[in-house]
Structure 1
Amino acid sequence: MIKIKPALSLTDFKSISKLADIIWLEHYISIISLEQIEYMLIKYNSVQALEDQVNQGFLFFCITYNNIPVGYLGVKKEIDFLFLSKLYVLNDYRGKKIGKAAMQYVTELTNSFQLKKVILHVNKFNTSSILAYKKMGFIKTKEIVTDIGNGFIMDDYEMVKAIEN
């Protein structure tokens, strides 16, 4: 059974950070360098980074499958859209409809905020995730290159999904 609950405690943020360490090394090592992965884990997925993002308006959620922590999700309400910042699932749990359940949760959040679309950024070389997002109704709208410091960039597509309230 898939459960998604708000991440509110230090324990939740530690769990997310631990999952990030595993998932990012599993998934991104064929896409970006180990140095960039390590940098991005500290900059965006450490306990301190997650707490800082919460202070900037982000909401995080822990995803469990049969009571086992398997992933996490992060969103931020913007003026006219919900920004999906993070949606990550452990490799061994992919293909179990966890991503689909998470996107349904994101759709419900979008509706609760009375917004009409979800926007996300995905690495241009993350072909499996791009394909999954397309199957969920997202379309590529533009290319975005972001300087994230330390000599690294994020080379992404912006993808958008219209949500019917």
Structure 2
Amino acid sequence: MIIKAERKDIPTIQDLAKKSWSFAYANILKQAQIDYMLELMYCEKTLKEHFENPNYQYYLVQENNEFLGFIGFEIHQEAETTKLHRIYFLKEAQGKGLGKKSLEFVINEAKNVNDKRVILTVNKNNKAQNFYSSQGFQIYDEAIFDIGNGYVMDDYLMEFVIDK
């Protein structure tokens, strides 16, 4: 079940982020960088700003009354474009089809607001890139982002073009 998150859910999002990131990035990033990025991207101030932006949406993914993951995306992030900023699941949620359902949900939300594509960034060493490709996303570019504190993210930029 995909449930719209509210400001009161910030601690749940932070907890899911911390647990899922330690699993998702353990073999890609050093722990110091993971800690830095979690603080940068999931501090209360940043998440409150997201909730104040009407185009930025958070959803919690739940199964059997347990939160297993979350999605964060921004409609109209660019002209006719929705950006999937966050899609993370706990280790025990892997293989349940929740990622596929969540991507379908985001694509449908983009369609509902007449956006023509969904974009995302994924670390070049993250096996999630294969998952996105299997769901119809294609690499359209690559970029290195300076995220501060001496850290960079070396990412593929991927897109899903929505058929009319």
- Normalised by the size of structure 1, how large is the TM-score? 0.93
The secondary structure found in structure 2 opposite 1:164 is coil
2:33 corresponds, among 25, 36, 57, to 36
2:42 to 25, 42, 45: 45
**1:164: Cα distance to partner?**
2.2
Note the 1:4-153 alignment, pairs <5 A.
4-10=2-8, 12-56=9-53, 57-77=55-75, 78=77, 79-127=79-127, 129-153=128-152
Q: What is the SS of the residue equivalent to 2:86?
A: strand
Q: Which runs of 5+ in 2 are unaligned?
A: none
Deviations 1:51-109 (A, max 9, x none): 12233442111111122100000001222210000000111111000001101110110
CA contact (8 A) 2:7 2:51 kept: no
Match of 2:140, SS state, is strand
RMSD between aligned alpha carbons? Answer: 1.2
Residue identity opposite 1:110 in structure 2: A
The alpha carbon displacement at 1:159 in A equals 0.3
Paired residues of 1:42 and 1:49 also in contact (CA < 8 A): no
Match of 2:150, as an amino acid? G
**Offset of 1:50 from its aligned partner?**
1.3
Could you tell me how far apart the structure 2 residues matched to 1:147 and 1:55 are?
25
State TM-score, norm by structure 2: 0.93
1:130 Cα shift? 0.6
How big is each residue's C-alpha offset from its partner over 1:125-154, in whole Å with a ceiling of 9 and x where there is no partner?
Answer: 002x01100010000111111111111111
Instruction: Give the AA of the match of 2:24.
Output: H
Distance 1:30 1:55 in 2: 34
Partner of 1:115: helix, strand, or coil?
coil
* Mapped contact 1:23–1:91 kept (Cα < 8 A): yes
Match of 2:162 in 1: 163
